[in-house]
Structure 1
Amino acid sequence: MTTAPSRKDAEAAPGKPSLEHAARFTTRAKLILVVLCAAQFIISLDFSILNVALPDLGRDLDMGQADLQWAITAFALPSGGCLLLFGRMADLYGRRRLFLGGILLFTAASALATFAWNPGMFITGRALQGLGAAAVVPTGMSLLTTTFPEGPQRNRALGVSGSVLSLGFTVGMLIGGAMTDTLGWRSTMALLAIVGAILVVAAPGLLAESRGALHPRLDLPGAATVTGGLFCLIYGLSATGAVRVAAILAALLLLAAFVLIESRAAQPLLSLTMLRRPTVAFGSLGGLVTFSMMSAFIFLLTLYLQDVVALSPLQTGLFFGGQGVVLAVTGMASSRVIRLLGERRTLVAGLAVQGACTAAMVATEGAWPVLAVLCLASVGHMSAVVSYGVTVTSGLPDSAQGLATGLVTSAQQIGITVGIPILSAVCVAHASALRAAGQASAPALLGGVRLAAGVDAALVLMVSLLIGYALLRRKARA
């Protein structure tokens, strides 16, 4: 008597492994994934680990309130501005070489920031950290996509990497609060240096060199305009008054010049043909929006929890630990969701859930209800994070992976950088207007947070609809 084949057997064609088997990693592949994810983790950790340490840092180094923003901006400028340049250099000169150089620079810069005795030395360390991060992030992602073949293995690897990346940003506040309270702010930079030193020792023996098959010249005019444009954009969003306007105008001019140069260059830094691919263009848009709006949402919640609910920095960090667990679990499960729904549907659904839950913040009060809303929003956010990376990099040859992952990581880093100043301006302006109308400080801040959360939600939901129309409708017609 014969039995009907199981679903697993039916999914596996003769001579081919099942989907579950195909997604399994060898021991060496697991170690490579650990190294690459550890590098991504310390970079994302660096974005947030100092947030709750800034007051102590300012007192220790005698930095005024106006100067403290440079503790964050000095890192964000090179890390966001040089991503596309280093992504292209990795394709040309070797991803492993640039990855290892970036880790070494990041580790040395973290040690410099740890032992800084004046503001100039500390800001220099932070800027060098950002430069190292700009080399590590795109090369680490392209090493991942070229190490793990397209399909179940890459989806699973991107799921792990995406969860680690978002987890690092969230856990950074928890670790930063705990370490600052017990060991002082310098311990936060020392932690990054220690993990970086471990990677400097472990990575060379595991990673194989990888580069594009073709060796075109580096597009120097394109590199100069896009790097300058991104620098001006990030600086402008961190500045105020006339300086902000001038920097953003300069950014627009430089980025317009970049597009013109790329349209005429024989060997462009960024292929406009690649950007015409709907999956690359709309996938990158989804990544930019999900990162910018979630990082801004977390910033708004930090204000709400400390200035309205009156939690301490350490309690606030512990609050975000619950979100970290949700991010990790969702990231691990996202590859299975993508397998069932496809990366495009997962991206659209993830953005829709993130936007809807952010909208619920407008009518939510109290730490525990807010935590529930945040965890639900994080499920959507992490689903969008993993699926947009798969969307952008799928169907491209290895020679283009550095460019594609440069776009992926640019969306991440620029998103984290631009979301907070934009929604912070909305929140502060409305809160100031409410205070001027006679409201007390805490209720006025709550009003500002709610308006900014509404703007956040509206933007995410609109982009979800746009991507759904552009990608799902196109796929249905194909």
Structure 2
Amino acid sequence: MTTLTTAPTPISTGVPAVTPRSTRRWVALSFLALAQFLVMLDASIVNIALPVLGEHLRMDTVALAWVITAYVLPFGGLLLLGGRLADRYGHRRLFLIGTIGFVSASMLAGLSISSGMLLGARAIQGASAALLAPAALALVTQLFPTAADRTKALGIWGAVAGIGSAAGVLLGGVLTAAIGWQAVFFVNVPIGLIVIAFIPRLITRDPATTRTPLDYPGAATITSALVAAVGALSAVDQLGFLHPLTLGLAAAAVILGAAFVLIERRTAAPLVPLTVFRNRNLTAGNLVMLLVGAAMVALFFALSVYMQAVLGYDALTAGLTQLPLAGALVVVAGIVPTAIAKVGAKNTLIGSLVVLAGGLSWLATSPSDASFAINILGPSLLIGIGLGGAFVTATQLSVDGITGGEAGLAGGLVNTSQQIGGALGLAILATIATARTGALEAAGSPAADALTAGFSWLFLGAAAFAITAAIITALLARLARKSLA
């Protein structure tokens, strides 16, 4: 059992063990991971296409920011509801509904002839991803019920998801340069259609379950709270921390979040039973994913801008420089199951987070005239190693001890942690970097040096998130040992 110290506290669901969902589960896993790849890819692939897209659809800077926000808001806000709907109505069913919606919205986005049409399509993409992602992870936990096989499966899952995050910059540059901005959306269509065609043949129909009443007040408050939280974090980057809209959304998120906790404590069938957090592995996995997501999203944003605005790389070259990082991530994700078996999940996770922090700190030393081979390649490899180990192990912990009736909830929680973490990290670290750059420019520093110094602070902040995650993992493991003493 891959635990922090001992076997986790199981979450009782009263659902009996189910028969295997597939006779070709490793093949099924490849298609589920492919769908998760698309979800992760779409969070970053659009970035490089934004200038060209804005020119064609006559969108200004504020409108272009909404191309990203329109996807992130429904995705982050609806994940918990999506996970619960999957538990209630069937994981395969919700996965296919989400994938069909995602493919349809991608086609609509690529065909957009106006900004309104594009933003609407992006919102549908995000809502569909919120159905798809937790259902997919739930299916993985059902396909691989034993600890050893599940760890291997999540190693593959983590590698593919990590590649999706890293590949966005590369594919965005290649597709935009070779075909046009529409290609960053159309690329989802053939891949998604393949997934839709094969999953029904590889995974059995959802078993009949007793449908408990859906917690509508809880669903409404947590969805509104998450949308407000993601909206507030997105507004920070555009409007600042003290703008009335930012403060209003933040206050709404806090109030709605508190209301949600009160509702969940009193309702007979809660959307998110608060008892799930008694599972220390689930709690640790989600906290680590929150912080790793904060570091990862800010990192990929800053690397793309640093290489193009400071080092003068074009979009394609900037994308190609991500290959060593992605390659290291893939290799490490594949060997994480072996590491967990030998040294345990706790040590694997802490070691990965320390390596990640080391790579980010090293990257922070890069000058404004950096050489890729001398200044960036080494840190990129360490970052890839750290991300691969941390992403896979945190995902493993977040679903450890979860049975079928709560699998969608667990998938929704870990994906929500990653999305909220990404928005939080980008808002905080981008603000810090911008303030540092502005101060140096005001003092007369050259623009390239000022930008580099700002990004240096951002990379150090991301390293601090990784170290914090390592400390939390160690503390939770220590508390677990004390409770058993």
TM-score, structure 2 normalization: 0.90
Tell me the CA shift for residue 150 of structure 1.
2.5
- 1:410 and 2:412 correspond: no
5+ residue gaps, structure 2: 1-20
Among candidates 30, 55, 58, match of residue 54 of structure 2: 58
- 1:382 and 2:388 correspond: yes
Tell me the CA shift for residue 211 of structure 1.
6.0
Contact 2:289-2:394 within 8 A present in 1 as well = yes
Partner Cα separation in structure 2 for residue 167 and residue 212 of structure 1: 35
Give the equivalent residue in structure 2 for 1:310: 312
- After TM superposition, the structure 1 = structure 2 runs for residues 221-300 of structure 1, keeping only pairs within 5 Å, are 221-239=217-235, 240=239, 241-300=243-302
- After TM superposition, the structure 1 = structure 2 runs for residues 20-99 of structure 1, keeping only pairs within 5 Å, are 28-99=24-95
Tell me the CA shift for residue 275 of structure 1.
1.3
Contact 1:212-1:398 within 8 A present in 2 as well = no
Tell me the CA shift for residue 477 of structure 1.
6.3
User: Which stretch shows the higher mean deviation, 412-421 or 167-176?
Assistant: 412-421
Contact 1:291-1:412 within 8 A present in 2 as well = yes
- 1:373 and 2:379 correspond: yes
Among candidates 124, 127, 142, match of residue 128 of structure 1: 124
Residue type matched to 2:83 in 1? Answer: G
Give the equivalent residue in structure 2 for 1:358: 360
- After TM superposition, the structure 1 = structure 2 runs for residues 388-467 of structure 1, keeping only pairs within 5 Å, are 388-467=394-473
Among candidates 212, 215, 222, match of residue 216 of structure 1: 212
User: Which stretch shows the higher mean deviation, 52-61 or 363-372?
Assistant: 363-372
Partner Cα separation in structure 2 for residue 214 and residue 475 of structure 1: 37
Residue type matched to 1:130 in 2? Answer: G
Give the equivalent residue in structure 2 for 1:189: 185
Partner Cα separation in structure 2 for residue 418 and residue 210 of structure 1: 36
Q: 1:217 to 1:378 in 2, by over 3 A?
A: same
Residue type matched to 2:480 in 1? Answer: R
Contact 1:356-1:461 within 8 A present in 2 as well = no
Give the equivalent residue in structure 2 for 1:337: 339
Q: What's the C-alpha RMSD, in Å, of the aligned pairs?
A: 1.7
User: Which stretch shows the higher mean deviation, 373-382 or 65-74?
Assistant: 373-382
Tell me the CA shift for residue 288 of structure 1.
1.1
- 1:348 and 2:350 correspond: yes
Tell me the CA shift for residue 124 of structure 1.
0.6
SS at 2:43 equivalent? helix
- 1:180 and 2:186 correspond: no
**What is the percent sequence identity of the aligned residues?**
35
Partner Cα separation in structure 2 for residue 212 and residue 44 of structure 1: 31
Contact 1:81-1:230 within 8 A present in 2 as well = yes
Partner Cα separation in structure 2 for residue 32 and residue 105 of structure 1: 20
Residue type matched to 2:433 in 1? Answer: C
Tell me the CA shift for residue 377 of structure 1.
1.6
Partner Cα separation in structure 2 for residue 304 and residue 190 of structure 1: 28
Tell me the CA shift for residue 181 of structure 1.
0.5
Partner Cα separation in structure 2 for residue 69 and residue 201 of structure 1: 34
After TM superposition, what 4+ stretches of structure 1 lie above 6 angstroms from structure 2?
none
Give the equivalent residue in structure 2 for 1:323: 325
Tell me the CA shift for residue 165 of structure 1.
0.4
Partner Cα separation in structure 2 for residue 317 and residue 86 of structure 1: 32
Deviations 1:208-229 (A, max 9, x none): 2346955321111111111001
5+ residue gaps, structure 1: 1-24
Give the equivalent residue in structure 2 for 1:15: none
Among candidates 142, 145, 150, match of residue 149 of structure 1: 145
Q: 1:221 to 1:166 in 2, by over 3 A?
A: same
Partner Cα separation in structure 2 for residue 472 and residue 319 of structure 1: 40
Q: Which has the higher contact order (CA 8 A, sep 6+)?
A: 2
TM-score, structure 1 normalization: 0.92
Tell me the CA shift for residue 473 of structure 1.
5.1
Residue type matched to 1:370 in 2? Answer: I
User: Which stretch shows the higher mean deviation, 408-417 or 250-259?
Assistant: 408-417
Residue type matched to 2:337 in 1? Answer: S
SS at 1:203 equivalent? helix
Contact 2:294-2:465 within 8 A present in 1 as well = no
Partner Cα separation in structure 2 for residue 294 and residue 205 of structure 1: 35
SS at 2:201 equivalent? coil
Q: 1:212 to 1:353 in 2, by over 3 A?
A: farther
Give the equivalent residue in structure 2 for 1:206: 202
- 1:471 and 2:473 correspond: no
Contact 1:110-1:192 within 8 A present in 2 as well = yes
SS at 2:145 equivalent? coil
Residue type matched to 2:204 in 1? Answer: A
SS at 1:204 equivalent? helix
Contact 1:237-1:421 within 8 A present in 2 as well = yes
Partner Cα separation in structure 2 for residue 221 and residue 473 of structure 1: 34
Deviations 1:194-219 (A, max 9, x none): 21122222222212234695532111
SS at 1:216 equivalent? coil
